[in-house]
Chains A and B, each alone.
Chain A
Amino acid sequence: MSAHRPDRSCACQDFNRAELLRRGIAQAGKGLPTIEPGMPTPAGTGLSRRSFVLSSAGLLLSVYGAGRLFDPAIFEAGIAQAATAANGPVLVSVYLQGGIDSMSVLYPAGDPLYASYRPTLGLAADAGPVFTEDPALHWNPLAAPFAQLHAEGKVSVLPTIGYSDPNQSHFTSRHYYEVGATDANLLTGWMGRYLDVVGSADNPLQGLCLDYSLQPALATARVPVATIDLPTDYSFSAEGVWGAPQTLMYNAFDSLGHAGLSAGDQAMAQSGEAAVMSNTLRQQLLQFQPAQGAPKPALPANYPSTTDEFPARMAAVAQMLAAGLPISCVTVTTESVFDTHENQVGPFDSGLGEAVQTIYAFQRDLEARGLADRVLTLVWSEFGRRPQENASAGTDHGAAGCGFVIGTQAAGTMIGEWQSLATGLDPLGNLQASADFRGLYCSILEQWLKQDATQIIPAAASLARVQVVKS
């Protein structure tokens, strides 16, 4: 219970207003929403949408560290000589930020203790469809589209994914999932290390983060990756520049970048590489630029209609894959925050509904475009929440949570299991994990990306593999 916000009914409104303001930022240039004088400013959720990473001293030193190559010859090889096959397997990571309450996504209606653990948040047994692989669990009615995909054999459910000795800090637990190890000091992401093995020095799109800042899972030590808001927004503007001087200006990005890469200085090289990669990306995304004065294209059918960028970003992934761009790993984060300590139902339902509808629409979009067999989508969160609801009609940080692997090539069978509330809790009253996220990563690397996991995941040899792709 927090003393600073006794009026709990305000939390939802504050949350929504905070979201509104964030959207205002996203729509920069179109005028900002202001708060009228005297109106209370929004209380956030305590977790920013761009959370995380330990930047404490001593760790600041070497992301693009000493191992980073400054050899400009690599960049002279030309641009867009994408080594990533435009028809290779694609992994899309969807992060449900804030630690989603897994027991409200798949709720244990059949567990005799469920009602006592969830006196106000509990859902009736007949409210949502039964999870056919374990009838003790029911799908939240808002997750019914997942139940449908599951019935088609396209969803592998992880009812309790986690790791031993679970950490209940958002930052730390998320960091573990991002880097693919329970190691606070690892600075490259698990997808980033995969790209370091297979990626090329001249294709930033191989690792695509749709956000304002790079998601740590894609942090590499060797090869470039791309961070963009939306492909339609990736345009450079210089006032009073057009015609030939404008066209040639883009070439100058490269020559300035090479000056930085040749300077023999790490910071200059980082800036130079960003210049060269930005220009490469500019060319790769030219086809998505709306014509001068034209309105932004509408979202394809079935994506939820909202000003959140999450559906637009998922739709953009499908469009970019359909355009044949050389993409290998993608990260997207929900704009909804699932850190539901108080009055859970409202924000949880709107967030879950939007996430499920978007992912469902994305899957159908891929199928309609004939891309579905190339794409596997991993849905995850940093932890689940405590089975026992708190006194504020919310839930506190827990341990194991739910995860989903979605796609036509997903195995479609449960990974791990749901243990009963009577037997499945740890001494702190949190769900124990029945599947380890690191083992899942190893399995995805080996079965989907066809890569030896021992090069990428620390102590991979000791981690149990699971069947994640149809055999």
Chain B
Amino acid sequence: MLDQFQRFGSDLFYRGLTSSHGGNMSVRMGDRIIITRTGSMLAHLTENDLIEIGLHEDDSNIMLASSELVVHRAIYLNTSALAIVHVHPPFAVALSMCVEDAIIPMDSEGSYLFRKVPVLHAETTVGSKEVAKIAAQVLREYKIFMLRGHGCFSIGPVLEEAYQWCSSLEESCKIGYYTHTLRAAQAAISQRGLGGLEYRKHADDYQEW
């Protein structure tokens, strides 16, 4: 179990999907949950960073468990998920603040995998009972959602799949961002010509080379 947490934790950080101490992961094993320790570094997880706690009821380990435990529990209790990943992918978080209620991937892969990713709003977004309630509902229909300005929660039967949704969503958001940026550049070029953006002399002439 530890090696899986370490593998995907490391990937999540080094692929830029979360910050040094951000994000959390869990798996459900019957009536128990294994969740990352609050404040742990996903890229450097050790045995002491995996906290076992009840699915239904708190025990002493509540002092160590991730602050998002309340959301993880609600998801497990209301969906068929056996694994959850929560991270703060920067492109997806930025985009979540620029759309109303959903991110619609433009790229083929994202569209195929998600079609759309709901964006939920809440006043308090960390360890929030309000988020727990809406997350559990939305994940009955979707495998991932964005919490506006915060991050995504994704589910799967195993950690790898939950990780995949985060990774794919971020890729779609990146593609969307690059596409919009390049389109804006193209629009500028068509208005002003390449010379408007280029630093080189005769930039427009290279078309004729």
A binds B: no
